[in-house]
Structure 1
Amino acid sequence: MNQRAVLNMTPAGKQRARALGIPLQGKPGHANAITDVDGVLVGYSTVIKGEGKLNLGYGPVRTGVTAILPFGHDGVGLACAAGYHSFNGNGEMTGASWIEEAGSLSLPILITNTHAVGTCHRGVIDWVARNKPALANQWLLPVVAETWDGYLNDINGSHVTVDHAMAAIDSAASGNIEEGSVGGGTGMNCYAFKGGSGTASRVIGYGHRDYTVGVFLQANFGSRHELNIAGVPIGQELAADNPMEAYFSGQPTGAGSCIGIVATDAPLLPGQCKALARRVPLGLARTGTTGSHFSGDIFLAFSTANPDALNGRFPQGPANEQSYGHMNFIPWGRMDAFYAAVVHATEEAVLNALVANQEMIGRDGNRTPALPHDRVVAALKARGAIPG
C-alpha cells in the first residue's frame, strides 16, 4: 500500500483515525507505527475461543499477547537505553526495578492480561533459552506488562500459555501492524468502547537528519463521558449504548489500565528515555482521561541508538584502557520536539485503537460496542473540528 493508504487503513482493511478526517498534529512516519523506528518489531498472539454464555461464571476467551522487540530477533540480548514511568501504579510491569537501576533493557517486551503475566514472563525465558542459550546462561529479567480484560475474557482460566508468549515473539515483524482487538489488546476496552492495541509515530527534523518517535499502547482505560476527540468533548453525545458501565453500575468507572511503549532512534540517555515515558500521560489526557485510581498506567521508553553501550553482562578479563563505555545523546535543551512527538503520537495511538475496531461479545455474553464512526464524524463536523 502507498503511504496514504497505510495512514488510513490497517493491514486487515480496518479504518484508522485519519480515515475519519480527524485532525492530528505532527508528521507521521511511513507506517505511522512504532515499527517506523528501524529495527523495532511487533508480534501478536490472539486467543479467541467460544461463543455465548457458559456455565459456572466462565465464558469465552478474548485475550492474547503482544511482543515488542527493540532490535529484532537477532538483537535480543543487546542493551538499549531505557526508562519507565508509573503514572498510576495499580498495575504491573516486571523488570522495572532493573530498568531503574541500570537504565537499560535487552529482552523482548511483552504485554498481556493481568493474570497472564507469569506465563509470559516464563515464555520470554524459554524463548531466550531456545534461541539464545549463551544469553540464557546469565540472569534474565523480562519486561512483562498487563491490563485487565476480565469484562470480556475468562481471565482466570489460564488461557494464555507459554507457547502463546513464544509465538508472539516469533511472529514479530516490521512495517504495517494490525490494531484494535489483536494480541494483548484483544479483550480490552477504552472509554467503554472496544479498545486494545493502537500505535502511531512522528518524524522529527534534527538539522542534519530525521529521527523517529513511535508509540504503542494497550489502551484499556477511561469512562465514556470523558472522551475527547480533536479537542471536542464528545463522550456525553455518545452516552447511549454503554453496557460495560451499566454492568459495573455503582462502582468506579474508567478502570482497566494503559500500557505505553515509546521507541526512538534518537540517541538518548536513560534519564531522557524516562522523560519521554513521563509525557505519555499528556497524550492520554488529550483524549479526555483524568487518570482513574483503578487504572494502572505504566509507560516505558527506549532508544535504539548506542546499541549495547549499556550492557550489564559479566565482564571478560581485567579492566584496561579500553574498558569504557561511550554514548552520544541529544542535549537536554533540544528535547522539546521529542516530548511533543510522544504526546501527539500517544493521542493518535488511542484514537487508532478505538477506530480500528468492532463490537465484541465475550465472557457471559458481556458486550462492548465499537466507536460509532458516523456519529463521531457528524459531531466533529457540527463543532467545526472537521470541515463540513
Structure 2
Amino acid sequence: MTTTDAPSPATHSPSGRPRPRALGWAADGTPGEWNAITDVPGVEVGYRTLIGPAGTVRTGVTAILPRGRAGVGRPVAAGTGVLNGNGEMTGTAWIAETGQLGLPITISNTHAVGACHTGTVRWCSRHHPDLARQWLLPVCAETWDGYLNDINGEHVTPDDVCAALDAAAHGPLAEGSVGGGTGMNCYGFKGGSGTASRLMPFGDATYTVGAFVQANFGSRAELTIRGRRVGPELDVPAPIEEDDWLYGDRTPGGAGSVIVVVATDAPLTGHQCAALARRVPLGLARTGTTGSVFSGDLFLAFSTANDRPSDTAFPQGEPSTAELVTSVALPWNRIDALHTATVQAVEEAVLGALVGADTMTGRAGHTSYALPVDAVQALLDA
C-alpha cells in the first residue's frame, strides 16, 4: 500500500491549487510553514466573500488582526508608506503620531470604507467594550472593484465586516477572489488577495516577515514574471483595458490600486516599520508596475514584538516611574535582511493573487480573465 503526502501549504492552496512557489515562479528566500502573513506568530486573517445574484455583487472584506482577536488593544509598532496617493487608508495620522497600531485592519472596496470603519467599531464594542469606551481609529483600506462589482450598491455592510473579524484565524490562507479581493483585477487579469512569507535568521533567532496584498493594479503591457515581460505575449483579452465601458471611455492601464500589509515578529520601532513599508514598491516593481497615477498604492507594516499594554490609553493617577516602558529593536545596521525579505514576499504575494484567481463575470456582463498559467509557464520555460 502506498501513501501520498499532502502538498505543502507553502506551495499549494488549501484547495490543492499550485501556488507560484510550486510553479517555480517565486522569488528567492525561504518561506514559513504556510507561506503567508499568518506565519508571523499571533497574526490572524479572516475573509467575508460576497458573491450576489445576477452577477452584480462581486466584493467582500478582509480582516487582519496583528495580535489576533484576543489581542486587540495591545499595540504593535507600525509605520506606513505611499507610492501613489489615489486611495484611502484610515487611521494613518495616529500611526504617524505614535508609531503604533492597536486595532484590526480591514480591506474592502473603495465605497465600503465607511462600512468597514463602522463595522470595526461595532465589533470592538461587542468583544472589547473597555477598549471601545475610548476613541477608536481603525485602519480601513480600499481598492476599486467597480468593473466587476456594483460598487455603489452598498453591498458590504458593517455586519459583513464583523463576520470577517469573527472569521479571523491563524493558518493557511486562500488566495485570489476571496475577501476584499473578490472583485479585483491585476495586470489586466483577474486579481485579488495574495500572501507570502520569508524567514530571516538572526543569530540564535529566526524572524518571520509576512506580506498580504489586495492586488488591483498594473497594466497588461507591464506584467513581468521571473524577470520576463510576459504580459504582451499572452493572447488573452483584457476587457477592462480594451472596452469603452466607463461612460464611453476606457480605463487607463494600471488603474485600480493596491494595498499591502507587511507583518513581522522581528523587534522594530515605528520608524523601522515605516522603512519596511517603503520597500514594498520594490517588490511590486519586480512584477512590472511603474505606479499609475490612477492607482492608490498604500502600505502598512507592523511588528508584533514588544508586546505590552497600550501607552496611549488615558493615564490613571499621578505619574510614576513604574509606567516607564522598555523596548528592544534590531540595530539599523542589521535591518537590510528584513528589507530583502519584504521585497521577496511582496513579489510572491502579487503572483499568488494572480495564480489563485479564476475567470469571473460580474456587473453588466463584464469579464475578467484568469492568468493563463500554462501559457506563462511555456514562455518562462522556452
* TM-score tier after normalising by the smaller chain length: over 0.9
- Residue of structure 1 equivalent to 2:274: 274
SS in 1 for 2:54: coil
Give CA deviations for 1:265-290 in whole Å, capped at 9, x if unaligned: 00000000000000010000000000
Q: 95, 101, 105: which is aligned to 2:101?
A: 105
Q: Do structure 1's residue 49 and structure 2's residue 52 form an aligned pair?
A: yes
Deviation at 1:4, TM superposition (A): 5.0
- Cα distance in 1 for partners of 2:177, 2:26 equals 24
Structure 2, gaps ≥5 residues long: none
- Residue of structure 1 equivalent to 2:22: 19
Deviation at 1:87, TM superposition (A): 1.2
SS in 1 for 2:240: helix
Deviation at 1:8, TM superposition (A): 2.1
- Cα distance in 1 for partners of 2:184, 2:251 equals 18
- Residue of structure 2 equivalent to 1:88: 84
Deviation at 1:322, TM superposition (A): 1.2
- Cα distance in 2 for partners of 1:23, 1:46 equals 27
Cα distance, 1:3–1:216 mapped onto 2, change above 3 Å: farther
- Cα distance in 2 for partners of 1:125, 1:3 equals 40
Residue pairs, 1:289-300, within 5 angstroms: 289-300=289-300
Q: Is the CA contact 2:73–2:310 (under 8 Å) kept in the aligned structure 1?
A: no
- Cα distance in 1 for partners of 2:26, 2:14 equals 22
Percent identity reads 59
- Look up the equivalent residue of 2:313 and give its one-letter code: R
Residues matched between the structures, number: 375
Q: Is the CA contact 2:7–2:16 (under 8 Å) kept in the aligned structure 1?
A: no
Residue pairs, 1:75-154, within 5 angstroms: 75-154=71-150
- Cα distance in 1 for partners of 2:214, 2:83 equals 15
Q: Is the CA contact 1:3–1:30 (under 8 Å) kept in the aligned structure 2?
A: no
Structure 1, gaps ≥5 residues long: 53-59, 383-388
Q: Is the CA contact 2:216–2:257 (under 8 Å) kept in the aligned structure 1?
A: yes
Deviation at 1:321, TM superposition (A): 2.0
Q: Is the CA contact 2:143–2:216 (under 8 Å) kept in the aligned structure 1?
A: yes
Q: Do structure 1's residue 264 and structure 2's residue 264 form an aligned pair?
A: yes
TM-score with structure 1 setting the length: 0.94
Deviation at 1:344, TM superposition (A): 0.2
Give the aligned CA root-mean-square deviation in angstroms. Answer: 1.4
- Residue of structure 2 equivalent to 1:56: none
- Residue of structure 2 equivalent to 1:220: 216
Deviation at 1:18, TM superposition (A): 1.6
Q: Is the CA contact 2:109–2:142 (under 8 Å) kept in the aligned structure 1?
A: yes
- Cα distance in 1 for partners of 2:136, 2:161 equals 16
Give CA deviations for 1:116-153 in whole Å, capped at 9, x if unaligned: 00011000000011111111101100100000000000
- Residue of structure 2 equivalent to 1:331: 331
- Cα distance in 1 for partners of 2:77, 2:102 equals 9
Give CA deviations for 1:4-29 in whole Å, capped at 9, x if unaligned: 52122111222211222224201100
Q: Is the CA contact 1:78–1:311 (under 8 Å) kept in the aligned structure 2?
A: no
Cα distance, 1:275–1:116 mapped onto 2, change above 3 Å: same
Q: Do structure 1's residue 352 and structure 2's residue 319 form an aligned pair?
A: no
Q: Is the CA contact 2:240–2:250 (under 8 Å) kept in the aligned structure 1?
A: no
Deviation at 1:197, TM superposition (A): 0.2
SS in 2 for 1:7: coil
Question: Mean Cα displacement is larger for which, 197-206 or 130-139?
Answer: 130-139
Q: Is the CA contact 1:309–1:325 (under 8 Å) kept in the aligned structure 2?
A: no
Q: 194, 197, 218: which is aligned to 2:193?
A: 197
- Cα distance in 2 for partners of 1:110, 1:323 equals 31
- Cα distance in 1 for partners of 2:130, 2:9 equals 39
Q: Is the CA contact 2:243–2:250 (under 8 Å) kept in the aligned structure 1?
A: no
